[in-house]
Amino acid sequence: MASNKAELEKIKSFAFKMRKHILNMSLAAGAYSSHLGGGLSMVDIAATLFASVMKHDNKKPQWPDRDRFILSKGHGVLGYYSALCESGYLTEADLITFEQPDSALLGHPVRNLKQGIDFSTGSLGMGLSLGIGVALSVRMKKRKSRVFVLMGDGETNEGSVWEGVMAASQYQLNNLIAIIDKNGYQQTGTNKDIMCVGDIATKFKGFGWKVKVVDGHNISELYDALSSQNNSNQPLAVIANTVKGKGVSIAENNNDWHHHVLTKSNYDEAMEGLLESGEES
C-alpha cells in the first residue's frame, strides 16, 4: 500500500509529541525511575498504529469493532501512555502522575477500559497468547477487527512465545499481527550475549507466519507494513529494527537507560536535543 505524505506527516508529529510526553513522565516519576530505553524504541511503531493504522475511538473505548492493541513488553509503558494521551484517552495531567502514589498509571499497564487499556501486562511472554485468544474471539464473532501485539526481541527468549507462534499458525489467524521491537537489548545486556535467537524472521517463517522486516523508525515502512491487507491465511510478524532510547541522545543504544532515574539535568539535555531535532522519525 502506497503511503501518502499527509498521513506520514501526521504520524511523525504524533511520534514527536510522544517523545516529549515520555521525557515529562520520566521526570515526574522522580526517584521511582522508569523504563526509558524500551519506551522510546517503540514510539514510531505505536505512533503509526494509534495515529493512523488502528480503528479506535476515544469516545467509545470499548467499541466492539475496534482494533485491539496489546503491549506484551509491558515495561515499555511510557510509549503506551504517551500514545493514549495523544489519542485522547489520557490527559497531560494524567501523565505526570506516572508512578506516583495512588496513580492509575503504574510502571506496567493495568487494565483500565475507560482509558483504552484492555489488558494488564508485564510478565514477559504472555502478550502473544492473549492476542491469540482475542483474535480467535473476533473471528468467531465474525468481526473485522485486527489484533496488534507489540513484543520485545529479548522477550522472545520465553518459551511461551514460541508456543503461541505455533498456535497462531495452526489456527491461521490472519487477523493477528505480532510486532517485534528489535532493539538488540534486554535488561542486563545484549540479546546476542544473553540468549541469542539468531535470525528471528527466519524462525517466524519456519513456523508458518508471513513476515515483513522494516526499519522501526521509518514511518513509511511501518505504515506500509502495518496497514496493508493480509489476504493470506497466515498471521503476520513485523520485525522492526529499532534503536533502544531512540530520539534521546543520552539514551540511544545505552542500556544503562533500560530502567533509570531521569534527573533534571538529564531532562534538560534530552529535551533540548529533541526540540532541536524537530519532528523525529
- Spatial separation of the C-alpha atoms in residues 161 and 213, rounded to whole Å: 19
Single pTM value for the model: 0.95
Q: What is the CATH number of domain 5-277?
A: 3.40.50.970
Each of the 281 residues of the chain gets a pLDDT tens digit; together they read: 445 889 999 999 999 999 999 999 999 998 788 999 999 999 999 999 999 999 999 999 999 999 999 999 999 999 999 999 999 999 999 999 999 999 999 999 999 999 999 999 999 999 999 999 999 999 999 999 999 999 999 999 999 999 999 999 999 999 999 999 999 999 989 999 999 999 999 999 999 999 999 999 999 999 999 999 899 999 999 999 999 999 998 999 999 889 999 999 999 999 999 988 875 44
